[in-house]
Amino acid sequence: MKLVARLWRSLGGRLQWRLLWLKHATFMVGVTGIVRDDEGRLLLLNHRLWPEGRSWGFPTGYANRSETFEDTVVREVREETGLTVRVGRLVRLVSGYRLRAEVAYEAVLVGGDLKVDPFEVLEAGWFSPDELPEGMQRSHRELLELSRRGATGPAGHGRCSACPEQPCTMTSASPP
């Protein structure tokens, strides 16, 4: 056992990581942004590549290698809509799928003009949480409910004086 440990240490970090990467399963991480504007409306997209009848949902995409999940939200929203957001609270982290994990964050609009990527998105709009479009993904409705309740993720919900980060960063579109 000592010989194996010495050999392992002699390989160096880069080769060690490469061997670990080859040994362990690789998977994708799907990242979703629950984006609100300063009026509390939700940014929803009619996704071209999603199943018919279930094509409405939040901006969503896959994390690139070496990209933080928060950066993925910012990139995907910008690519799909041309808008700029600031990422807030973690709402959900789900693992256990065979080849993927899913992460969802709250985010607030900070700028940009809405212009959809026609390859991925048929249309986009701002919707009241009480007036969601027909055909919205059930899983995204569940994310909205988690976000409304302030459930899951770190302590605090980012919307009032109880928020651990003051001033609260989720009630205004202005940067902290």
DSSP 136: B
Q: Is residue 27 part of a domain?
A: yes
> Containing domain of residue 46, as a range?
13-149
Whether 155 is covered by a domain: the verdict is no
Tens digits of residue pLDDT in 23-77: 666 778 999 999 999 999 999 999 988 888 889 999 999 999 889 999 999 999 9
pTM for this model (two decimals): 0.74
**Count of structural domains within the chain:** 1
124 vs 98, residue with greater confidence: 124
CA 71, CA 53: separation in Å to the nearest integer? Answer: 30
Residue 89 lies in a domain: yes
**Is there a domain that residue 67 lies in?**
yes
Cα-flanking dihedrals φ and ψ of residue 102, to 5°? -130, 140
CATH number of residue 141's parent domain: 3.90.79.10
Residue 120 inside a domain? The answer is: yes
| 154 within some domain | no
3-state secondary structure of 157: coil
Note whether residue 7 is domain-resident: no
Q: Is residue 158 part of a domain?
A: no
pLDDT of amino acid 18:
77
Residue 156 confidence (pLDDT) above 70: no
The more confident residue out of 156 and 85 is: 85
